[in-house]
């Protein structure tokens, strides 16, 4: 899999003195199994301007005696992913062709990807980020248990291209809010369906404690109101009795 500008080279086992290195090796490409071979200039393959898909890549070397050697490989050309930014919890990136994005991520680092494994060997995958093929993409990182995560961005055109591995730590992201409508399931690129790592429920516990505290404070307020009413009645009763006593004393006089 290649994408973007690719520098080409080939290992030569023959005596290099017998080969004109200013001319050889030469490189050619064509769509897989069809069309004419096209020359790659200056040993740099500019894939941005050719359709995505599968190609054949050929190298050609001749020595000064006229002996020729050809080698061919099959290779896929994918979209270029660039301008990758992570701002708080919002991940954004661009592609040079319209593609559909997806994120694969894991607690463990993966130096290489393996397209033959679900999620390219990563533990989890997001769903499709885009509803249709576009060039500007955004993905809101969902609530995850605290820790460090490694991820790559995938671009689904034909075939799938991917970025180098990046990482983020959840402690460095802002707290997540308004996640009541969030879906906990995440898709696996393969025959298996996986679930996003269990989300911590500390916020729920805090909310429950808040409700309990509100109920307790409400009961305390009712008690204080009741005590205040009783105190007021007591003062009124004492004041009334005191007035009656004074009136009786005045009558006796």
CA distance linking residue 127 with residue 153, whole number of Å: 12
* 20-24, 134-138, 167-171: range with highest mean pLDDT: 134-138
Tokens of 163: 């970025």
**Residue 159: cis peptide before it, omega within 30 degrees of 0:** yes
- Of residues 181 and 71, the one with the higher pLDDT is 71
CA distance linking residue 141 with residue 121, whole number of Å: 20
What pLDDT is attached to residue 175? 40
* 13-17, 90-94, 236-240: range with highest mean pLDDT: 90-94
> Which CATH number does 5-77 carry?
2.60.40
81-195, which class in CATH? Answer: mainly beta
**Residue 25: cis peptide before it, omega within 30 degrees of 0:** yes
Predicted TM-score (pTM) of the model is: 0.62
Write the DSSP string, 20-56.
Answer: -TTT-SEEEEEETT-S--EEEGGGEEE-TTS-SEEEE
Residue % of the chain over a pLDDT of 90: 40
């Amino acid at each position: 899999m290649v994408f973007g500008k690719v520098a080409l080279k080939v290992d030569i086992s023959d005596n290099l003195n017998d080969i004109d290195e200013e001319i050889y090796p030469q490189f050619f490409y064509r769509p897989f199994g069809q069309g004419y071979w096209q020359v790659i200039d200056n040993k740099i393959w500019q894939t941005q301007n050719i359709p995505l898909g599968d190609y054949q890549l050929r190298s050609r070397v001749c020595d000064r005696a006229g002996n020729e050697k050809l080698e061919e490989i099959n290779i896929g050309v994918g979209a270029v992913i660039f301008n990758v930014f992570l701002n708080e919890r919002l991940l954004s990136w661009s592609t040079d062709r319209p593609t559909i994005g997806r994120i694969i991520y894991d607690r463990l680092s993966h130096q290489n990807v393996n397209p033959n494994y679900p999620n390219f060997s990563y533990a989890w995958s997001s769903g499709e980020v885009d509803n249709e093929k576009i060039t500007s993409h955004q993905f809101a990182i969902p609530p995850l248990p605290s820790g460090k995560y490694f991820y790559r961005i995938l671009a689904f055109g034909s075939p799938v291209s991917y970025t180098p591995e990046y990482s983020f730590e959840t402690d460095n992201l802002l707290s997540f809010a308004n996640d009541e409508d969030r879906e906990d399931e995440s898709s696996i690129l393969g025959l298996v369906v996986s679930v996003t790592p269990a989300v911590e429920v500390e916020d729920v516990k805090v909310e429950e404690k808040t409700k309990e505290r509100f109920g307790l404070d409400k009961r305390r307020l009712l008690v204080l109101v009741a005590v205040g009413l009783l105190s007021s009645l007591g003062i009124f009763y004492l004041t009334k009795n005191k007035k009656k006593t004074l009136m009786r004393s005045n009558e006796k006089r």
